[in-house]
Structure 1
Amino acid sequence: MTDYKFEGWLGHSPESVKGQMKWGEFEPKTWTEEDIDIKVTHCGICGSDLHMLRSGWGPTDYPCCVGHEIVGTVVRVGKNVTQHKLGDRVGVGAQGRSCMLSDCPDCSVNQESYCKRANINTYGSTYPEGGKGFGGYATYHRANQHFAIQIPEGLKSEYAAPLMCGGITVYSPLKNHGCGPGKSVGIVGVGGLGHFAVLFARALGADKVVGISRREAKRAEVLKLGADSYIATEEEEDWATKHAHSLDLIVSTVSNTNMPLEQYLSLIKTNGTFVQVGAPDNGVLPPINAFTLLSAAVKVTGSAIGPPRQIKEMLEFAVEKNIVPWAQTRPLADANQAIVDMDAGKARYRYVLVNENHL
């Protein structure tokens, strides 16, 4: 038994995404001696939260407490916990568990985020030991020690929180596909994920960073983030022809089934790579013409978050390079209005809920 309660903002139906979450108590996942309890101080609002609240990726198991950009203080440790101690400041991202077995093709090579045997989401999934995961729009969070990452000194909690999902979702494909000196990199969709991608592409040393979005309105902000140039696809005439074969790597953060995918692919140089990280509600992307791939040896792939070891690397890199997200803090009590504002595209570029009672 503990002397604290697990309470949070609970979605009870798809209508909850319209600002209709209800505050209530919940039972966290079943405790194991490999677990820690975290007193939540900060939690970023991710687009995934909205997808889950509205049952966009399939039926959500309500009630659901979302939030997987969690930062807080360890207040309980299991007997078998070796990675954390009471009072540590830790973060938890989108993954709550994998099988973690030595014969797993993914976990055995530090690719836990792609584990096919037991890939458990931080919230909304049922854990092998029993119980359902609940997220960070809450007072406390229970996590497996391996998927809680120490937050390094020098990184503010309101900056660390959105890195736990938004940051790693773009850092991983940039790093894995060779972003660095000599490379020209395009970022499609400059929102919560895309703004991180611009920051990281610049910090990784790319020769050229190009922001790509529909409207001209974001140009000044994207250039201020560190991009060298900007393409407004709905307002720049013949943009695909004008910028053809100019990029080595594109990371696409958008979740639009109607995006101009063929035109995006035409921007890529021979043997270049297009990485999709945005996930539409129905999972469907526009069709790709085979000759688009054949004519330029274009590689099309996807990427989902990153494993614990790479999250740790990213946090340390953020401190080393002084990566400062554009994060706006909102009181935890204001969570309903914050998700409505997030859904309306008002965030510039990440909202972070703060539990002021836990600071």
Structure 2
Amino acid sequence: MPSTDKFTGWVGLDAESVKGNLVKTTFSPKEFTDDDIDIKISHCGMCASDLHTLRSGWGVTNYPVVVGHEIIGTVTRKGKNVKYEIGDRVGVGAQCYSCLKPDCYDCTHDNEPTCPDRVFTYDACYPSGDVAYGGYAEEGRYPASFAFKIPEELPSEIAAPMMCGGITVYSPLRRNGCGPGKVVGIVGIGGLGHFGLLFAKALGAEEVYAISRSKAKEADVLAMGANGIIATNEAGWAAKNSRKFDLIVSTANSPDMPLNDYTKILKPGGRFVQVGLPEEPIPQFYFGPLVQSNISIGGSLLGARCEIEEMLALAASQGIKSWVTVYPMSEVNTVLGLMEDNKARYRFVLEN
């Protein structure tokens, strides 16, 4: 049962809320347990997932909904089983619960995002039936097992987008061999893609390239440390880069991606990993290159808890900075419109 406590947030009531119709009102968080913390939210990054959910793009959303899963804040209440202290600065990402049972294969093999009992931070329900609410709010209540101490070196507005956007690309880079001697491509230069470039370089890849429709963002790409940009609107781009990449991570959300051409620019044995989630199916795909060049195509969902801790430590030690624009939380409806118009360079962060 939900608690009788009342938190304040910006609530989506229907699919029209994506047009900037969030309503500031109260909601009842999950029942507080000995394993939970309450957070006074200072910052929340804005993710494309928020838009997909608000408009029911990935299926019918369970309204009312409070989106936002790049949450930074300070602990104001702790259960007796919680290691954090009041006042600690923590972050919560796109997943807020998994079973963590010793007989769960996923949870015991650093694959908490694929646990059958996983709970996403919004538009989801806990095993108790309580609704999970996100970070477009003044307060939040979450299991402490999915809250992460934020290193002192990372400002809150910088850390916030890493809790989803950052880990979504860090995990597949880490798990698919990004490092010295590797040539890595990042498809799509947006909120996720810019983290792909930053983290691929931080992990020591020999060469890192952005792959985008045009070279409009070339100056930004080079400033992020990439070796260059490949424009797919230029004739012969795939032939010019044949067998170039060991690994490609795609953040594209468009169903018309040139997937067949992406396979042609992978080295034999190369890997293509999709992390973006288009609302529509991709066009017909030909399996020839996969078989002939021993290429693998896969997907990746978020990242393990240990990878989130590792990512935050790496960002702190190497001074990695998210490219963000900060707005007051009170202007969330205006910023939703900016997101829809692809105005982010490269992540919007809301601040209470």
**TM-score, structure 2 normalization:** 0.97
- Could you report, residue by residue, the CA deviation over 1:124-164 in whole angstroms, capped at 9, with x for unpaired residues? 11111231011000010101010000001111000110000
- Three-state SS of the structure 2 residue aligned to 1:169 is helix
Contact 1:77 1:84 in 2 (8 A): yes
Equivalents in 2 of 1:322, 1:307: separation in Å? Answer: 22
Listed one character per residue, the Cα deviations across residues 215-257 of structure 1 (whole Å, up to 9, x for unaligned) are: 22111111111110111112x1110111111010000001111
Aligned counterpart, 1:139: 138
State the 1:319 CA deviation: 0.6
Amino acid in the other structure paired with 1:45:
M
The number of residue pairs the alignment matches comes to 351
Partner of 2:88: 88
Deviates more, 1:284-293 or 1:266-275: 284-293
- Aligned-residue identity in percent: 52
Name the residue aligned to 1:323: 320
Counterpart residue number, 1:258: 256
- In structure 2, the CA distance between the partners of 1:20 and 1:259, relative to structure 1 (3 Å rule), is same
What residue in structure 2 maps to residue 206 of structure 1? 205
1:300-341: per-residue Cα shift (whole Å, max 9, x none)?
011011111110110001011110110110100010111110
Equivalent position of 1:169 in the other structure? 168
Maintained 8 Å contact 2:5/2:29: no
- Whole-angstrom CA distance in 1 between matches of 2:118 and 2:57: 19
TM-score by length of 1: 0.95
Please state how far the C-alpha of 1:288 moved relative to its aligned partner. Answer: 2.4
Alignment of 1:6-21 (within 5 A): 6-21=7-22
CA displacement at 1:96 relative to structure 2: 1.2
Poorly superposed stretches of 4+, deviation over 4 Å: 1-5
Over the residues paired in the alignment, what is the CA RMSD in angstroms?
1.4
Cα pair 1:5 1:140 within 8 Å, conserved: no
Is the Cα–Cα contact under 8 Å of residues 30 and 130 in structure 1 kept in the other structure?
no
> Match for residue 65 of structure 2?
64
Counterpart position of 1:49: 50
Please tell me whether residue 226 in structure 1 is matched to residue 225 in structure 2: yes
Letter in structure 1 aligned against 2:348: Y
Q: Does 1:343 align with 2:344?
A: no
Following superposition, the deviation at residue 285 of structure 1 comes to: 2.7
Residue 287 of structure 2 corresponds to residue 290 of structure 1: yes
Q: Please tell me whether the aligned partners of residues 67 and 135 of structure 1 are also in contact (alpha carbons under 8 angstroms).
A: yes
* Alpha-carbon distance in 2 for matches of 1:130, 1:275: 34
Gaps of 5+ in 1: none
Q: Are the aligned partners of 1:172 and 1:306 in contact in 2 as well (CA < 8 Å)?
A: yes
After superposition, the C-alpha distances for 1:179-209 in whole angstroms (9 at most, x for unaligned) are 0110000000000000000000111111110
Aligned counterpart, 1:33: 34
In the other structure, the counterpart of 1:180 is 179
SS at match of 2:17: helix
Pairing 1:247–2:245 present: yes
